[in-house]
């Protein structure tokens, strides 16, 4: 798919501790590794002719830098699992507002079935959408929705 004469691009941004997926609390987050999740997402994007890249960091500043790099690189859409930073990072929120790249927020677990402090997301009200509690399918639905939005807003 092309947008403005270039291949549409999507960034999946993974927040802290997600490199441990498959090993960390598999009953809550599932048994698939981040690498396998990325492979599944890549297959969805390829079927839609969308260029997909991935970035994961445990560091808030690196995630913010990745957003500014995405803007400079002309990324068209972002799917983000901010993990705990979604509940704590005003700086990450400010960076999303600054780069003005549309995004969908995802969480593997149902944040509303967990501790009260997880019920607040600093990103939800500025996101195109939020998908939570469906495990890996949260990511898959978000990538498909992002591809659909890219197709309809060209």
Task: Report the side by side order of strands in the sheet with 77-81.
Answer: 51-56, 9-14, 77-81, 103-107, 129-132
Q: Is 107 a catalytic residue?
A: yes
Which phi and psi angles does 107 have, rounded to 5°? Answer: -140, 135
Residues 6+ apart with CB under 8 A from 3: 76, 150, 154
Question: Can you give 31-95 as a three-state secondary structure string?
Answer: CCCHHHHHHHHHHHHHHCCCEEEEEECCCHHHHHHHHHHHHHHCCCEEEEECCCHHHHCHHHHHH
Is 29 an active-site residue? yes
DSSP 4: T
Catalytic residue (one of 14, 85, 87, 107): 107
Task: List the catalytic residue out of 29, 85, 122, 139.
Answer: 29
Q: How far apart are CA 93 and CA 24, in angstroms?
A: 26
Q: Catalytic site residues?
A: 29, 107
């Amino acid at each position: 798919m092309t947008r403005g004469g270039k291949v549409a691009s999507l960034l999946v941004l993974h927040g802290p501790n997600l490199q441990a997926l498959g090993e960390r609390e598999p009953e809550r987050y599932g048994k698939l590794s981040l690498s396998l999740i990325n492979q599944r997402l890549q297959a969805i994007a390829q079927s839609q002719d969308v260029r997909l890249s991935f970035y994961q960091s445990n560091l808030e500043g690196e995630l913010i830098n990745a957003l500014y790099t995405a803007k400079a690189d002309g990324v068209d859409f972002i799917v983000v699992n901010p993990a705990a930073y979604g509940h704590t990072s005003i700086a990450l929120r400010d960076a999303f507002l600054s780069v003005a790249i549309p995004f969908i927020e995802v969480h593997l677990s149902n944040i509303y079935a967990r501790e009260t402090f997880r019920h607040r997301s600093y990103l939800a009200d500025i996101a195109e959408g939020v998908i939570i509690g469906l495990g890996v399918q949260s990511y898959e639905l978000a990538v498909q929705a992002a591809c659909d939005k890219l197709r309809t807003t060209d």
